[in-house]
Structure formats: C-alpha cells, structure tokens
C-alpha cells in the first residue's frame, strides 16, 4: 500500500523545511522530499539559501569586510596593521564549514520533530498523489492529504552571456579560488552588489553593468542615489543604462561587448558574474492533470494564502509571486502549515523587509517616495543623516540616511528606507512598529538608548513630525 501522510512537502529550502517542521509541530504526519545531494550522495537540506545563497554570501561578505577594515579602516583609529593578507582558500573553507553546520542542523531538526525526510525528486500527480523518485532509482507513489510545493528558483541565463568557463552564476561566484584581477558583473541588483562587493573588497577591479537607467528601482530614490554614490566611492564601477550584447570567451578570460547609453563599448574580464534575476523551478514538477496552474512567467498561481487552484495543494517561496526572499518563504511555510492545521494565520505582505548586505547595508520596508506619489498617497517624510549620529561617528561609519515615510492624514508609518550602518537591524524596528500600526508619534515617544544607531530611526520619526532635535527642521512644529 502507498505510504500516506497528512502533509508532503516538495523541496527543503527555507520555505519547505520550515513548513515541514511547523506542520510536524502541529501534530501532522509530515514528509519532505529533497533532491539536493552532496558529493558523496547524502541528502542536503536548506535549499538555495543555506547552500549557495544567503548564508555563504554573508560568510564571504563578513570575511571580506574584515579584510577591508584591517587593510584600510584601522589607521583612523590609530591602529597600525602591516601586511594584511587574504587567504582565499581559507576564506572559502570557513564558508563551507558554516554551510555544513547549518544544513546538518536541518537534518537534526527533522529528526527531532519527527519529519520523514525522503532523498530524491518529487512530482505532483492528480488527486494529491506525489510521485517520489529516490536517488537509488526506485519510484513510489505517496498519498498526501495536503501537498506543499516549495521547489524554489534558479538563476536566469541570458543569450549574450551563457554560463560556462569564466562566465558564472551566483553559485559560481561564491567559489572563485583566487581573487580575479578584473571582475565583470551583469546586473546591479542584490546579488551583483553583494558579490561584487565581496571581491572588490579583497582586491578585484569590479565593473557592474546594469540595463536600467535607475539604480535599485524598488528603493526610495533619495536613498538609492545616496547608496549609488557610496558604493561608487568604494570603487564599484557601476554603469547604468548599459546592456551586454555579446561575450567572447578566450584563454585569459572573457571579452564583453556592451552598449552604454548609445555607445558600444568593450571590456576584458578574468571572470564575469551574471546576476540578472532568478526564475521559478517548476519544470517537471506538475503532471498535466494535477490541477495546479502556472502564471505567465512560470510562477505557480496561488491566492493570498498560498493555496493553488487544486484544493489541498499549496505553493510557497520563490515559486510564487512576491519577493524572492528566504524570510518571505519561511513565513509562507508557517502560514500554510498552520492553515492546514485549521488555524486562520495570515501573512502581512506589506511588512516584509528587504536588505542588501553591502557595507553600509541598504534596507527597506514598504513603499518609497516615488511609489507613494504614483499611488496618489499623501505622505510626510522624515530624513535623518548618519553624519549627525554620535554612535555612527564614533564607529567611523557615518554615511547614509534613514528615511521614514508616514501617512499625511493620520501619521501612520507607511515605510522606511535606509542606507547606512546597521540598516538591516534598524529597518526591523520599523517593521515591528508597522505590525503594531504605529505612528511617527509612537516612535517619537519611545525612549531609544544613547548613543545607538537606533536613534537615527527615532530622529527620522521626529523629523517627519517636524521637530527633530539633532538636525535643523525645515518648518519646526
Ligand atoms: P530554495 O531555497 O530554492 O529551495 C528549493 C529546494 O527545492 C532546493 O533545495 C531544491 O533542491 C529542491 N527541489 C527543487 N525541485 C525539486 C523536486 N522536484 N523534488 C525535490 N526537491 C526539489 N534571501 C534572503 O532573504 N536573504 C539573503 O541574504 C539572501 N541571499 C541570497 C544570496 C544569493 C547568492 C542567492 C542566490 C539568493 C539569496 N537569497 C536571500 C534568496 C533566498 O535564497 C531564496 O529566496 C530562498 O532560498 C527561497 O527559498 P525556497 O524554499 O522557496 O527555495
Ligand atoms: P535582482 O532582481 O535583484 O537584480 C537583477 C538586476 O539585473 C536588475 O537590476 C535588472 O535591471 C538587471 N538586469 C536584468 N537583465 C539585465 C541584462 N540583460 N543586462 C544587465 N542588467 C540586467 O536579481 P538578482 O540580483 O539576480 O537576485 C535574484 C533574487 O535573489 C532577488 O530577487 C533577490 O531578492 C534574491 N536575493 C536576495 C538577497 C538578499 O536578500 N540580501 C541576496 C541575494 C539574492
């Protein structure tokens, strides 16, 4: 007889593994199918995020930041450090150790929660049955009362720069065994800026080729302009309105032809990272009669609760609409597991923060000024520069701004966009405020420790109200 489960999850990335653990916690008999395996054939959990995404990229961002600080940021403190060197293989080894620790941890969590982990590929058939093809070649059909699809995403390839040799995707860019002398990056998005920064900090000359004339379109214009200035000053040569038209792989690297504005240009690189976005992974996942429909660009069609068109089948994370972020995938996993268990959990899609882990970080939640204007929303903006923050100055990190946006009618916080030190953690404070329906006045009346970077959020709220203390107000109120 076919194995039977209350919940079968296909894919054990942040969406799938969190969904499986939460479902098991709620007493549901749960299995998770994952096809990723290590060189020695063992199943590997954690998906893109843990293996080739969030975690390894942050490990390299941290290592490269420390190198850069030691080489260039200590003299101002009166600290002398001679001969700062970087051992790239050691840096990669540390990254791999962290990845192994975390992916192994997921296997432990599955065991502790009673989740059945199945190593192989899953495919959804009609009637909520799941075909499981194990790595050893055996195929079985599993009966599932509920199915959660969580198969994630993969890098987009462009015809002008097909992957191979010196042309790599984000996973390849986490594995360079030496610092490229000249590194090209196609796409000034999250991956391009994070991985471009990693290699630039440890000595690569980095040119970033971005198709759009605007930098970081989702970010408030004032903040993105500031971020562009800061990153260019760090040496990232960011070319906007530039499109790669051809590449030529040769012995020493890759020649890239691109059109910047109207002008055709050529550049030679040792390596080229192509980071122009990701696409949902659904190929071969759905039997034609399984009842689940796809949208235009291959995303699985779901409602606001991640239910597909087939009752009892859900889809979460990078294969559905919304930002491709690990925390969004995880919270969708929790929402779906809880709804299967009969709870009425919802996800507030307006309160999902986004962070780019450059230094300084760029972080935001909610709309920026240009989106509010386009929506016809009356708003107030409060801006506070880190140049006026005692803590940022003490840390020699006083660049960037906090911009808080509030509803002109009732003072409710609508969004916050930050470039500056600690932006990732600062924006989280505003996310909490927004979850509680806070106004700028609520933040203004909250006591913030001194001297902290958080005071920049406090002052931005005061600025929105017209009475910031540590900067002049346009019209004090
Ligand atoms: P995935 O993590 O892609 O997992 C899907 C899993 O499903 C995979 O393990 C895959 O092997 C498995 N699978 C696919 N098909 C099948 C099948 N048929 N049968 C069985 N298994 C299958 N997000 C952040 O929030 N913060 C960050 O700092 C961040 N950094 C990133 C850095 C990089 C370089 C990249 C590439 C991404 C980064 N992301 C970050 C994005 C984040 O990794 C994704 O949003 C997240 O991993 C999506 O989770 P998921 O569970 O939907 O899919
Ligand atoms: P992205 O959408 O962030 O950026 C892609 C960039 O490439 C855009 O600016 C786009 O205009 C540009 N582009 C597209 N086609 C181009 C072309 N032909 N030539 C030049 N430029 C082109 O995508 P990404 O950086 O590949 O990241 C993929 C996903 O992974 C993102 O959705 C992101 O949310 C997620 N991610 C998140 C983090 C994080 O949270 N810190 C880190 C890495 C990745």
Q: How far is the CA of 313 from the centre of ligand 1 (A)?
A: 20
pLDDT for res 39: 81
Q: Count other C-beta atoms under 10 Å from residue 186's C-beta.
A: 26
pLDDT for res 336: 98
Please give the backbone phi and psi of residue 85, each rounded to the nearest 5 degrees, phi first: -125, 160
Handedness of CA 388, 390, 391, 396 (dihedral sign): positive
pLDDT for res 110: 98
Classify strands 139-149 and 4-10 as parallel, antiparallel or unpaired. Answer: parallel
The three-state (H, E, C) secondary structure of 331-357, written as one string: HHHHHHHHHHCCCCCCCCHHHCCEEEC
Between the alpha carbon of residue 103 and those of residues 13, 24, 54, 334, the distances in Å are: 10, 19, 13, 19
pLDDT for res 475: 72
**Matching residue, tokens 């940021």:** 73
Would you please indicate which residues are annotated as catalytic (active-site) residues? 450
Ligand 1 atom closest to Cα of residue 17: 51
pLDDT for res 355: 98
Helix axes 88-113, 14-25, angle to 10 degrees: 30
pLDDT for res 252: 87
Q: How far is the CA of 276 from the centre of ligand 2 (A)?
A: 5
CA-closest residue to ligand 1 atom 36: 53
Q: How far is the CA of 437 from the centre of ligand 2 (A)?
A: 31
The ligand that comes nearest to the alpha carbon of residue 256 is: 2
> Is cis: bond before 360, omega within 30 of 0?
yes
Q: Which residues contact 25 (CB under 8 A, 6 or more apart)?
A: 113
Which domains, and CATH codes, for the chain?
Answer: 4-155+279-347 (3.50.50.60), 167-276 (3.50.50.60), 353-465 (3.30.390.30)
Q: How far is the CA of 392 from the centre of ligand 1 (A)?
A: 34
The answer to whether 189 touches 195, Cβ cutoff 8 Å, is no
Which residue out of 159, 189, 194, 365 has the highest number of ligand 2 atoms within 8 Å of its CB and is therefore the one to mutate?
Answer: 189
Ligand 1: residues with CB < 6 A are 10-16, 33-36, 47-49, 53-54, 57, 121-122, 150-153, 170, 191, 281, 285, 317-318, 324-327, 329
Q: How far is the CA of 318 from the centre of ligand 1 (A)?
A: 7
The ligand that comes nearest to the alpha carbon of residue 192 is: 2
Ligand 2: residues with CB < 6 A are 158, 186-192, 194, 209-212, 243-244, 275-278, 323-325, 355-357
Q: How far is the CA of 156 from the centre of ligand 2 (A)?
A: 9
- Token output for 279: 């696409």
Classify strands 205-209 and 4-10 as parallel, antiparallel or unpaired. Answer: unpaired
CA-closest residue to ligand 1 atom 14: 151
The ligand that comes nearest to the alpha carbon of residue 273 is: 2
State the Cα–Cα distance between residues 51 and 193, nearest whole angstrom.
Answer: 19
State the Cα–Cα distance between residues 413 and 392, nearest whole angstrom.
Answer: 24
Beta bridge partners of 380: 406
**Matching residue, tokens 């779906």:** 336
Show the CA angle centred on residue 435, arms to residues 433 and 437, nearest 5°: 70
The ligand that comes nearest to the alpha carbon of residue 328 is: 1
pLDDT less than 50: residues of the chain: none
Ligand 2 atom closest to Cα of residue 53: 43
pTM, two decimal places: 0.98
pLDDT for res 296: 87
């Amino acid at each position: 007889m076919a194995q039977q489960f209350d919940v079968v999850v296909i894919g054990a990335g942040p969406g799938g593994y969190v969904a499986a653990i939460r479902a098991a916690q709620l007493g549901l008999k749960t299995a998770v199918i994952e096809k990723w395996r290590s060189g020695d054939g063992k199943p590997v959990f954690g998906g893109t995020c843990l293996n080739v995404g969030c975690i390894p990229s942050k490990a390299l961002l941290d290592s490269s930041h420390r190198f850069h600080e030691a080489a260039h940021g200590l003299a101002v403190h009166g600290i002398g450090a001679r001969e700062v060197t970087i051992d790239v293989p050691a840096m990669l080894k540390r990254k791999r150790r962290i990845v192994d620790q975390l992916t192994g941890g997921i296997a432990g969590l599955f065991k502790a929660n009673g989740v059945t982990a199945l190593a192989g590929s899953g495919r959804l058939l009609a009637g909520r049955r799941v075909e499981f093809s194990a790595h050893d070649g055996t195929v079985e059909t599993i009966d599932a009362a509920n199915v959660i699809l969580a198969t994630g995403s993969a890098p987009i390839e462009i015809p002008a720069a097909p992957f191979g040799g010196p042309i790599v995707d984000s996973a390849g860019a986490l594995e360079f065994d030496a610092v490229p002398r000249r590194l090209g990056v196609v796409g000034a998005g999250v991956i391009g800026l994070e991985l471009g920064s990693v290699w630039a900090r440890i000595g690569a000359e980095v040119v970033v080729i971005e198709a759009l004339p605007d930098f970081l379109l989702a970010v408030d214009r004032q903040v993105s302009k500031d971020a562009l200035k800061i990153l260019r000053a760090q040496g990232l040569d960011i070319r906007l309105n530039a499109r790669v038209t051809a590449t030529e792989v040769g012995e020493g690297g890759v020649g890239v032809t691109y059109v910047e504005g109207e002008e055709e240009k050529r550049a030679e690189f040792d390596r080229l990272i192509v980071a122009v976005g990701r696409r949902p992974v659904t190929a071969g996942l759905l039997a034609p009669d399984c009842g689940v429909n796809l949208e235009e660009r291959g995303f699985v069609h779901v409602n606001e609760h991640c239910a597909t068109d087939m009752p009892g089948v859900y889809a979460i994370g990078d294969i559905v609409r919304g930002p491709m972020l690990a925390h969004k995938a995880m919270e969708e996993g929790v929402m779906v597991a809880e709804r299967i268990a009969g709870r009425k959990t919802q996800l507030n899609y307006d309160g999902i923060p986004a962070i780019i882990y450059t230094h300084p970080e760029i972080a935001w939640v909610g709309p920026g000024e240009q989106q509010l204007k386009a929506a016809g929303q009356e708003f107030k903006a409060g801006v506070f520069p880190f140049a006026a923050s005692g803590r940022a100055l003490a840390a020699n990190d006083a660049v960037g701004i906090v911009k808080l946006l509030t509803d002109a009618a009732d003072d409710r916080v609508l969004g916050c966009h930050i470039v500056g030190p600690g932006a990732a953690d600062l924006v989280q404070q505003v996310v909490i405020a927004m979850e509680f329906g806070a106004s700028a006045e609520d933040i203004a009346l909250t006591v913030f420790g001194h001297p902290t970077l958080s005071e920049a959020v406090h002052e931005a709220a005061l600025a929105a109200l017209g009475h910031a203390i540590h900067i002049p107000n346009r019209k004090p109120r």
